[in-house]
Structures are given as structure tokens and as C-alpha cells.
Amino acid sequence: MKPVAMRWKPANGSTGYDTGSAWYLEPVAGPPRRALLALYPLAEERKGTVRLMAATGRLLAKEGWATLFFDFFGTGDAPGDFADATWDRWQTDAETAFDLLRALSGLDRVAVLSARASAPLALSLAKHGGNRLSGLVFWEPVLDTAAWLRDARRRSHFRLGPARTGLSENDVDGYVYGGTLWNDMARAPSAGTPAPPPDVPVAVVALAPSGRPSAETVRLAQRWGARLLTANQAPFWLESDTVAGEALAESTRQALDALISP
């Protein structure tokens, strides 16, 4: 996996480069036959996902996939402060990464893997990608970012207890949401999220240690007409330590193989 230059658009409107916020994983052998853009989940949930997505990318590399990983503005190793991030900014980041992967891989079409609350950003790529979007795979998609934000804040307040004294109400697990981003996410119920285009194949991977996905995930997959797979995997967003990702990587490989021909 190697760092690659990704063009960012800083808040002041100028153009800059940062080489440490995007990583390109090439196939183990030969040129890329398929390409995958990986979208990390948002904020604190990213921490438990980096190794899971890397494990998935390494498995796919054995089958000729090229994968691009990147951090949204203000997160991880990306430039900028989280407090300055906006939803529009993150949509632009996803579109930039989509185009970069096409250039790096030399392939015209790209699939997208999304985890949790990055799902609406993945869906927004359908308009940008058009017929260049070959498929969508979702890990436990979260469409109602308003509810997700409320739950994250509630868990953060519970964990910190009295230690929260003096912190901003928009401080969630140490991530201070700027007013624009907070408002964008707080008024974006799932009903307003577009469904995947009918001509784009979709799969949903449910994390179900019991082997039974949640009723909500089943309903969503049915509503989308998506292929539903389950992984015997603990919910990474609820774990304090990184969990093993072999089951999730294998389920993702199966989903992509079912959706997209080499």
C-alpha cells in the first residue's frame, strides 16, 4: 500500500496537495482488473475500521482488485480541522477520490465500498459516477445521520459523565462538529436519502455474530433490491479494540464477485 497525491480544496478556495491522506493498494500480480473505492465511516467509528478495510483490500488484491483508501477532510491523516468540515466538502472528497482511482488503475469503472454513516456519501457518488460506477457494497449502512448523531452524542455523554463539564454540546468523542456540518447531518433523515440507481448492482453486508441480521438491515436490502450477506463479525463501531476482519473481508469479496465480473 503506497501513499498517493490527492488534490484537496482547502476552505480558502485555493488548491493544495497532501500525499499522506490517500493510499493505493495494487493487485498482487498483474494490472488491475477491477477497482474499489473504500469510504471509511465517520468520526470515532473510523478507528475500528482502518484495519478491517485494509484486510479486505489485501484479500481483494489477490484477485486483481486495486483499492483506494482515503480520509475525509479533517479526519485521520487528511488536512484540515474536523470543526471546519462540511457535508459538501466530504462529497467533493469522495468524488475526487473516485476520479483519482480511475486514473491510477487505468480502469473506466469503479465500485464503492461504504461503512456505516458514509452510506449517504456513497449514494451521492451515483450521480457523479454515472455509468462509471460498477457497484455499491455497504457495511451496515446508516442513512439517518440525524439519529446516528444523536446516538453518538448520547454514548459520548454517558462515557464522559461529569468530565464533560465545559465541553461544547457539539463535542462528540473529542470531535467538535462545526455548525454547518452539525446542521447538515441533523436535518438529513433517511427518507431524504436517494436509493441506489436501478442499473447499479448493490449488496449489503450485515455484521451478525448470531448469523441473523437485524430486521432494519433486512428491510433496507429488500427495499433496495440488494443482495444481502452476513458476516460472523462483531460490530466494530461498538468495540474498544480492533476486531479481526477475516469474516467481513470474505463476505465483502463474495458480494463483489457476485455483483461485478472480472
Question: What pLDDT score was predicted for residue 47?
Answer: 83
Q: What is the reported pTM?
A: 0.91
Alpha-carbon distance of 133 to 129, in angstroms, equals: 5
CA-angle at 223, arms to 221 and 227, nearest 5°:
30
Extended beta strands in the chain, E state? 2-3, 6-8, 16-18, 22-25, 34-39, 65-70, 110-115, 133-139, 171-172, 175-176, 202-207, 227-231
- Beta 2-3 vs 227-231: how paired, if at all? unpaired
- What does CATH list as the number for 2-259? 3.40.50.1820
Cell of 151: 446516538
Q: What is the pLDDT of residue 119?
A: 94
Which residues does 67 contact at the CB level (< 8 Å), separation at least 6?
Answer: 24, 25, 35, 36, 37, 38, 56, 57, 60, 61
Residue 120's pLDDT is 93
Per-position b or e across 76-93, b if 16+ CB within 10 A of its CB: bebbbebbebbbebbbbb
pLDDT at residue 11, rounded to an integer: 52
How far apart are alpha carbons 242 and 49 in whole angstroms? Answer: 8
Owner of C-alpha cell 451515483 = 126
Could you say which DSSP state residue 195 is in? P
Q: CA–CA separation, 159 vs 232, rounded Å?
A: 27
pLDDT of residue 10: 56
Q: What is the pLDDT of residue 240?
A: 59
Q: What is the pLDDT at residue 165?
A: 56
> What does each of the 262 residues of the chain score in pLDDT, given as a tens digit?
888 877 765 555 555 556 567 999 999 999 999 999 999 999 888 888 888 999 999 999 999 999 999 999 888 888 888 999 999 999 999 999 999 999 999 999 999 999 999 999 999 998 899 999 999 999 999 998 988 888 888 877 766 665 555 566 678 878 889 989 989 888 765 555 667 888 899 999 999 888 889 999 999 999 999 999 999 988 888 765 666 689 999 999 999 999 998 7
Contact present, 22 and 100 (Cβ < 8 Å): yes
Distance CA(73)–CA(63), nearest Å, equals 31
Instruction: Evaluate the CA torsion angle 213, 219, 221, 227 in order and state its sign.
Output: positive
